[in-house]
Amino acid sequence: MTLRVPFDNSYARLPARFFTRIDPMPVTAPRLIRFNHALAADLGITPGSDDEMARIFAGNAVPAGAEPLAQAYAGHQFGGFSPQLGDGRANLLGEAVADGKRFDIQLKGSGPTPYSRMGDGRAWLGPVLREYVLSEAMHALGIPTSRALAAVATGEPVWREQGALPGAVLTRVAASHIRVGTFQFFAARRDVEGLRALYEYTVARHYPEARDPAALLEAVIARQARLVAQWMAVGFIHGVMNTDNTTLSGETIDYGPCAFMDSYHPDTVYSSIDAHGRYAYSSQPDVIVWNMAQLATALVPLMPDAEAAAESFTRIVHAMPGQIRAEWLTLFRRKIGIDSVRDGDEALIGDLLARMAENRADFTNTFRALATGGPARDQFLNPAAFDEWARTWRARLEGEDGGEEGARARMRAANPAFIPRNHRVEQMIAAATEGDFAPFARLVEVLSRPFDDQPGAADLARPPAPSEVVQQTFCGT
């Protein structure tokens, strides 16, 4: 059997300055670690033998119909603008078309490109497995995200500060890899022709209803507002919300130093490169508004009246915090079982979160206990702090549709039992580095059903012991 992908590569038909055509760089001894058969079926991909897929998804062979390229883009990284970034260790093989939708098939860790900026273009095994686990977990949680199609070991070492590490390549699937930074790339060069071509391409691919750049901005903001609210509702911290990691499609992308919170605190930061907490958990709504302001700035040259456009775009961006708050309230109401809307709901939710922060309550397990009727109070250093809040909460639930049973059903659908806990991810990576992929396979399987009770996986729902706490997560470059 030969691997077949239904390629139709529209991005490769854009002007040459959008990318550099380059083949992936072959590796010594590719070996398939995992192939996502369910995702492949959804994309209309016919799998081949393990050996063939190892060669293709490591970059040793180019599948029929692919047109490999590295995309150009710019971006604000921690607030500082870089006019030239681009795919420094990624290669877009092309686009699979399924059910009338396009999906990018991209290799990560496939060798250097003209955009590598002195990097080696490679990835080591840890970040590849981390992204596979976390992106698939996010998909199972119902949050828009890139997906993992395959992970391949290269048989070559990758050199990092820790020394020689096993190399790997991830195959990533995304609705597209068009970023805020892609628009910034052309705007920074005052390339209005290129900017207009990108705008028209983005509208055709993602927002056919958008009649002009203002409508595109509004549509992207709506998706990003919901996306960040969804992150907040599961305790996810992206860790590197640069404009080059903010997609126009509204998907989560780039699982570098990301993490899910254990004990709740709004100022939680894990990323080792976020020294000042720019991308802390509670800062994410502010950051995405700032990123959308950068998109608005990049779109202004497409408007006939720049001054009027700036005023209009400013109003659109300034409305975004209210949109995020509305999405956040909707999701957190469900997390505590509320279906109707009352004025005091935000204060009720805020009171719970404040008590959780003060008492180091586990974010996931506290809300899951509310859903299952378990001892949520046991998550608190001072259980009385929960009891005080719970009296007001139970009074609020009176009269809700379906009574307590309806509230529990809403909460079970909103509050996962399982998330990719940082210590389990790190343990999984350590095991895989030694050649044991069983913990990786187990995480992928359990996290594919995050809302189900899985008694045999109770250890994966347990918060870390003090000796297991992960203080920092690291970028894979």
Alpha-helix runs per DSSP H in 43-100: 50-58
CA distances for 439 relative to 113, 234, 364, 431, angstroms = 33, 23, 21, 7
Confidence band of 223 (pLDDT split at 50, 70, 90): very high
Question: Do the domain assignments include residue 234?
Answer: no
* Secondary structure class of 405 (helix, strand, coil): helix
Confidence band of 401 (pLDDT split at 50, 70, 90): confident
Helix (H) or strand (E) holding 34: strand 31-35
Instruction: Give the DSSP letter string of 284-322.
Output: HHHHHHHHHHHHHHHHGGGSS-HHHHHHHHHHHHHTHHH
Regarding pTM above 0.95, the answer is yes
Residue 288 has a pLDDT of: 98
| Largest pairwise CA distance in the chain | 65
Domain-terminating residue out of 413, 441, 463: 413
pLDDT digits (tens, 9 = 90+) for 91-123: 999 999 999 999 999 999 999 999 998 889 999
What is the rounded average pLDDT of the residues 220-243?
Answer: 98
Domain-terminating residue out of 134, 154, 174: 174
Beta strands in 350-426 (DSSP E): none
Could you give the CA distance from residue 245 to residue 178 in angstroms, rounded to a whole number?
A: 9
Confidence band of 404 (pLDDT split at 50, 70, 90): confident
Residue 477 pLDDT > 80, yes or no?
no
Q: What is the mean pLDDT of the chain?
A: 96
* Residues tagged active-site: 244
Question: Do the domain assignments include residue 3?
Answer: no
Question: Do the domain assignments include residue 239?
Answer: no
Residue 473 has a pLDDT of: 85
Residue 119 has a pLDDT of: 85
Question: Do the domain assignments include residue 78?
Answer: yes
What is the rounded average pLDDT of the residues 289-317?
Answer: 97
Residue 342 pLDDT > 80, yes or no?
yes
pLDDT digits (tens, 9 = 90+) for 171-208: 999 999 999 999 999 999 999 999 999 999 999 999 99
Question: Do the domain assignments include residue 401?
Answer: yes
pLDDT digits (tens, 9 = 90+) for 307-331: 999 999 999 999 999 999 999 999 9
Residue 475 pLDDT > 80, yes or no?
no
**How many structural domains comprise the chain?**
2
Question: Do the domain assignments include residue 227?
Answer: no
Structural domain containing residue 378: 335-413
Residue 46 pLDDT > 90, yes or no?
yes
Domain-terminating residue out of 174, 201, 223: 174
What is the rounded average pLDDT of the residues 7-23?
Answer: 98
Question: Do the domain assignments include residue 264?
Answer: no
Percent of the chain with pLDDT over 90: 93
Residue 265 pLDDT > 60, yes or no?
yes
Question: Do the domain assignments include residue 156?
Answer: yes
